[in-house]
Amino acid sequence: MAEKLLLIFVLALHVLASGVLSTSILTIENKCNQTVWPVIYSWQSQVSTTGFALKTGEARDIYAPTSWFGLISARTLCSTDSTGTFSCATGDCESGRIECPGSYSWAPVTYAYFRIDNGRVNSHTVSVEYGYNLPLMVVPSKSSRTCSSSGCEVDLNKTCPKDLVRVSTIGDPVACSSACQASNTPEICCTLDYNSRQNCKPTVYTRNFNRACPLAHIYAYDDNKSTFTCPKSTDYVITFCPSSKTITKSQ
């Protein structure tokens, strides 16, 4: 009897560790021509990691538990200095290492938001409200009128207005800040007297982003066209720099 209970306990631990009890699998894949370092930040529940390296052509599965609410972004151009401090040119979470625990500082990067099993449905949104650094697409395993892909496949760094460029390397922009980050004015950031849909209007910058990325969330009072809802059992593929490169699962 004791041996049977021990076996059941071991099997239960295996199920929990493998994520079988989670409601969705988030497959993060890198089709960029450079290594990226995904960041996973959670507001509710937790996942197994908060940050890791993903080489070109690699993919990794993240098991999202019930009621998980979080975001996924990616850091680029990362390195470790002589003191052992890890940092990145774009999307740095300022932890000093590859993992990104604790609080999160908004940076000019492309974000994917998820709510898993929230009222028996999932939702996902790709946002450039805070800026942009990489093309990013989210593709659900199911498809319907309300459950479809979202994201931004265009390289906005090539067309980013000069007054919005936040980070450059050898003259080439590698991240594009939002108009709010660049100006920090109430009418652009939708704060104070502009904190309503009636007063917060699109700008020349948001219109430019919207034309390039119609399936992404652009600014604070953007409409709901960029948020998609799916059944709670839906899995997702999150692709940085969508292309036709072969993807292999990393360990």
Q: What is the dihedral of CA 138, 140, 143, 144, to 10 degrees?
A: -70
Q: Which domain holds residue 105?
A: 23-178+205-249
Q: How far apart are CA 180 and CA 187, in angstroms?
A: 9
Residue 119 lies in a domain: yes
- Tell me the CATH number at 71: 2.60.110.10
The answer to whether residue 117 is domain-embedded is yes
Question: Does a structural domain hold residue 197?
Answer: no
Q: What are the pLDDT digits (tens) for 11-58?
A: 344 334 444 455 899 999 999 999 999 999 999 888 999 999 999 999
Task: Report the predicted TM-score, pTM, of the whole model to 2 decimal places.
Answer: 0.86
Query: Is 199 part of a structural domain of the chain?
Result: no
pLDDT digits (tens, 9 = 90+) for 164-214: 876 766 667 899 988 888 888 898 889 888 888 888 888 888 888 888 899
Residue 193 lies in a domain: no
- 213 assigned to some structural domain: yes
More confident residue, 121 or 14: 121
| Residues across the chain | 251
- Number of compact structural domains in the chain: 1
